[in-house]
Amino acid sequence: MFGLGTPELLIILAIVFVLFGGKRLPEIGRGLGQGIASLKKGLQSTEETEM
Higher pLDDT, 1 or 41: 41
Residue 1 pLDDT exceeds 60:
no
Residue 2 pLDDT exceeds 70:
no
- What does the mean pLDDT of the chain come to? 86
Instruction: Answer positive or negative: Cα dihedral of 9, 14, 17, 19.
Output: negative
Over range 6-21, report the average pLDDT: 89
Distance of CA 49 to the CA centre of its chain: 27
Q: Give the percent of the chain with pLDDT over 70.
A: 92
Q: What is the pLDDT of residues 35-49, one digit of tens each?
A: 999 999 998 888 778
Q: What is the DSSP string of 1-51?
A: -TT--HHHHHHHHHHHHHHHHHHHHHHHHHHHHHHHHHHHHHHHHHHHHH-
Task: Compute the distance between CA of residue 16 and CA of residue 19 in angstroms, rounded to an integer.
Answer: 5
